[in-house]
Chains A and B, each alone.
Chain A
Amino acid sequence: MKRMALVVAAAVLGLGVAHAAGKVDAARAIAGAAAKMKIAAALDDQWTPAIAAFKAAKAADAAGDYAKAEASAKRAEALAAASIAQARSQKRLWQNAVPR
Chain B
Amino acid sequence: MKRAWAMIVALATLAPGLAPPAKADPAADLKAFQGYFQTRFPTLALQDYVNGPYNFSANDRAQWKQILEFPPYSFAVDAGKTAFGTKFPDGADYASCFPRGGIGIAQDYPKFDEKTGKVVTLGIAVNECRERHGLKPLSLTKGELADIVAYMTSTSDGKPIHVVIPNDKRAIAAYEAGKEYFYSRRGQLNFSCASCHVQAAGKRLRGQYLAPALGITASFPVYRSKWGDVGTLVRRFIGCNKKVRSVPAKPDSAAYRDLAYFLTYMSNGLPIAGPGARS
Contact = CB atoms under 8 A, between A and B. Distances in A.
A48 B179 contact: no
Contact of B246 (A46, A93, A97, A99): A46
Interface string A44-73: 111111010000000000000000000000
A99 B33 contact: yes
Interface in B249-267: 249, 255
Contact of A86 (B32, B180, B186): B186
A99 B194 CA distance: 10
Interface string A74-100: 000001001100110010111101111
A95 B183 contact: yes
Interface residues of A, number: 22
B192 interface: yes
Contact of B188 (A47, A95, A97): A47
B190 A49 contact: no
Interface residues of B, number: 28
B130 interface: no
B279 interface: no
B117 to A, nearest CB: 19
Interface in B12-46: 16-17, 22, 29, 32-33, 35-36
Contacts of B195: 97
A13 B77 CA distance: 71
B274 to A, nearest CB: 25
A83 to B, nearest CB: 8
Nearest to B36: A99
A47 B245 contact: yes
Interface string A30-42: 0000000000010
B185 A90 contact: yes
Contacts of B29: 98
A75 to B, nearest CB: 12
Contacts of A94: 180, 183-185, 192
Contact of B183 (A44, A45, A82, A98): A98
A86 B199 CA distance: 19
Interface of B: 16-17, 22, 29, 32-33, 35-36, 179-180, 183-188, 190, 192, 194-195, 198-199, 242, 245-247, 249, 255
